[in-house]
Amino acid sequence: MEKPFIALPALTLKELLDFSVASYASRAAVQFVDGEALSYSQLGEKVTEIQEILQKYGIRRGDRVALFGENMPHWVAVYFAVTTMGAVIVPILPDFHTSEAIHIANHAECKAAFISQKLFESMVDETQPPLLNLLVILDTLVVLEKLSRPSKVEKVLQRGSEQLGRAMDKLGKEGISKRGREVAEDDLASIIYTSGTTGSSKGVMLSHKNIVSNASAAQKIIDIFPQYKFLSILPLAHAYECTVGMLIPILNGASVSYIQKPPTPTILLRAMASVKPECMLSVPLVIEKIYKNKILPKFQANFLIRSLYNIPFFRKKLNKIAGKKLIESFGGELKFFGIGGAGISPSVELFLREAGFPYGIGYGLTESAPLLAASNPVNTKYRAIGPAIYGTELQLRDQDSEGRGTLWARGPNIMMGYYKDPEKTAQVIDADGWFNTEDMGYFDDDGYFFMSGRAKNIIVGASGENIYPEQIEAALNAHQFVADSLVYDDQGALCARIHLDYERLDEVLGAKQKSETKLHERVATILEEIRQEVNAKLSSFSRIRKVIEQKEPFEKTPTKKIKRFLYTQER
């Protein structure tokens, strides 16, 4: 059954929240796994409580408020409280170092901050931003007045529930409502600082219209019903999870559950069994690890199964059986598993297709709030992302002879610009409102976008060929002994840094029983075998000349992309 399209009176976060609170008042909105849910009406009440705290401490329209914490129901309430009163939310990824968080709060000139207890305890010796006049513990919404010496936690002045009652009497709910109605579509709603893979973090300014138009357009991709349950495992401070994993379910009356501990495989399995989600979002790394560590080894358990798996007919049958078991391990109700944030391994995607696993691919950037193109489980194409989302235009510029070009985008979801950086803004948004994604790819006849790689990562071959390192890395990462890889140009020769899956090596080779000398020899042999095996699948100009063992895991951004600049600079 197709779900009716929800048309909001205005594309603001206040209209979205008001609609959902009125339409789904008694339904569960947000909760911890196995915790008590906040209903939509209770979420609305919590938003009002938080707005009264902000008002009491002088936070007004246009003021910036930092939000630095792990996923939790209060994160959602604070996000709406700040944005629906006309202030600006500054979400900070919890994986950022505390010094980075302080830098962001300083740069954004935040006047208030909501910080989780865990992160607050890690930053008590840091110097607080000078403009900050309000600190609130996110977990409990306990107010801490600004400290001259934050390390002396015993001097913190706590404000309890009686303070909230006095603030409510003084301000009144009507005042909050009137302020909310002043919010306009083109008002700044959020500044999201990108982690970046080049080392430079930029403050992306997103308006209410940017964000809500993107959430609304997603209704054309997949139907979300009020009875659906989402399990959230990605950081809400990232645009992908915030828009797709929070705003879209709230717009449609679904419920979202959060995990209170890091989502290790054991904790994730327990959460999925408890929640039985219909929808989840993930970066490729999660499903790729499941495939390589749990599924593929079973297909290589003995000579007979391994031989059958190499025959397409039997491979499809085996993948179908494995797919059913995989869906059961996700709780048995899964209808949409959205994959975004990076390209997925071709071999893993082939498994998902043949397994009947309900995956969809999304592509976008923080600067586009974030979705630009997407597919759902019904209309995915192998190796493709999908067509442009509703209301967004995509075009290629500077195309080569094979039709590959740089992707530009225009639509209501394209950012207002970079905070305090009009020069950088002018470099990426032209006079007609087109945004340069700096991603390379091509379109097929059905309008599906196929991504080749980042323009800035392209390596030019000896005869002028464009080499996309991400495609070579995907081939490397498909190998059973490769945990991760990075391909770069080393004085005219293609080099691959490979971080091996040492647990898998121990399991298969019995490495713990070998001497150091024998182990080094065996690792060198495996690296060379990987190089030759992958080169056999690549064009001559894309073949790897040298492989290097990356003994420590690559440093990554919070969305699990390798920080390439740390490994590709002149060595």
CATH of the domain at 534: 3.30.300.30
**Cβ-contact 392, 400 below 8 angstroms:** no
- C-alpha 246/C-alpha 229 separation (Å) is 11
Looking at the structure, tell me whether residues 350 and 259 fall in a common domain: yes
- C-alpha 508/C-alpha 398 separation (Å) is 47
Report pLDDT for 565: 82
220 domain residue, yes or no: no
Residue 328 Cα to chain centre, angstroms: 24
232 domain residue, yes or no: no
- The CATH number of the domain where 317 resides is what? 3.40.50.12780
238 domain residue, yes or no: no
**Cβ-contact 434, 346 below 8 angstroms:** no
**3-state SS class at 526:** helix
**Other CB atoms within 10 A of residue 483 CB:** 20
Query: What's the predicted TM-score (pTM) here?
Result: 0.85
471 Cβ neighbours under 8 A, 6+ residues apart: 452, 453, 542
6 domain residue, yes or no: no
Looking at the structure, tell me whether residues 301 and 341 fall in a common domain: yes
4 domain residue, yes or no: no
Looking at the structure, tell me whether residues 282 and 329 fall in a common domain: yes
Looking at the structure, tell me whether residues 448 and 462 fall in a common domain: no
Distances (CA, A) of 197 to 70, 132, 202, 287, 505: 22, 29, 11, 22, 29
Looking at the structure, tell me whether residues 556 and 473 fall in a common domain: yes
Which range of residues forms the domain containing residue 154? 13-214
Q: How far apart are the first and last CA of the chain?
A: 58
- C-alpha 105/C-alpha 125 separation (Å) is 16
Looking at the structure, tell me whether residues 352 and 484 fall in a common domain: no
Looking at the structure, tell me whether residues 305 and 193 fall in a common domain: no
288 domain residue, yes or no: yes
**3-state SS class at 395:** strand
Q: What's the number of domains the chain is made of?
A: 3
**3-state SS class at 393:** strand
Looking at the structure, tell me whether residues 261 and 381 fall in a common domain: yes
- C-alpha 31/C-alpha 255 separation (Å) is 8
| Burial class for 445, CB neighbours closer than 10 Å (0-12, 13-18, 19+) | exposed
Last residue of a domain, one of 417, 434, 456: 456
**Other CB atoms within 10 A of residue 287 CB:** 23
Q: Omega of the bond prior to 370 within 30 degrees of 0, cis?
A: yes
435 Cβ neighbours under 8 A, 6+ residues apart: 367, 368, 408, 409, 410, 414, 415, 428, 429
Q: Name the CA radius of gyration of the chain, rounded.
A: 25
225 domain residue, yes or no: no
Looking at the structure, tell me whether residues 207 and 291 fall in a common domain: no
Which residue's entry shows tokens 């902000």?
54
Kindly state the helix (H) or strand (E) to which residue 549 belongs, with its residue range.
Answer: strand 546-549
**Cβ-contact 170, 51 below 8 angstroms:** no
Looking at the structure, tell me whether residues 442 and 298 fall in a common domain: yes
> Which amino acid does the sequence have at 59?
I
Looking at the structure, tell me whether residues 426 and 466 fall in a common domain: no
And the tokens for 200? 């430079």
87 domain residue, yes or no: yes
**Cβ-contact 385, 375 below 8 angstroms:** yes
Looking at the structure, tell me whether residues 201 and 338 fall in a common domain: no
Last residue of a domain, one of 199, 214, 229: 214
Last residue of a domain, one of 456, 478, 511: 456
Q: What is the pLDDT along the chain (571 residues), one digit of tens a residue?
A: 678 899 999 999 999 999 999 999 999 999 999 999 999 999 999 999 999 999 999 999 999 999 999 999 999 999 999 999 999 999 999 988 888 888 899 999 999 999 999 999 887 666 667 778 899 999 999 998 654 333 333 333 344 434 444 444 444 444 444 444 589 999 999 999 986 444 457 899 999 999 999 999 999 999 999 999 999 999 999 999 999 999 999 999 999 999 998 888 889 999 999 999 999 999 888 898 899 888 998 998 889 999 999 999 999 999 999 999 999 999 999 999 999 988 898 999 999 999 999 999 999 999 999 999 999 999 999 999 999 999 999 999 999 988 999 999 999 999 999 999 999 999 999 999 999 999 999 999 999 999 998 888 888 887 677 888 988 998 899 898 999 999 999 888 899 999 999 888 887 777 566 667 777 888 899 999 999 999 998 888 899 999 999 999 998 876 678 888 888 754 4
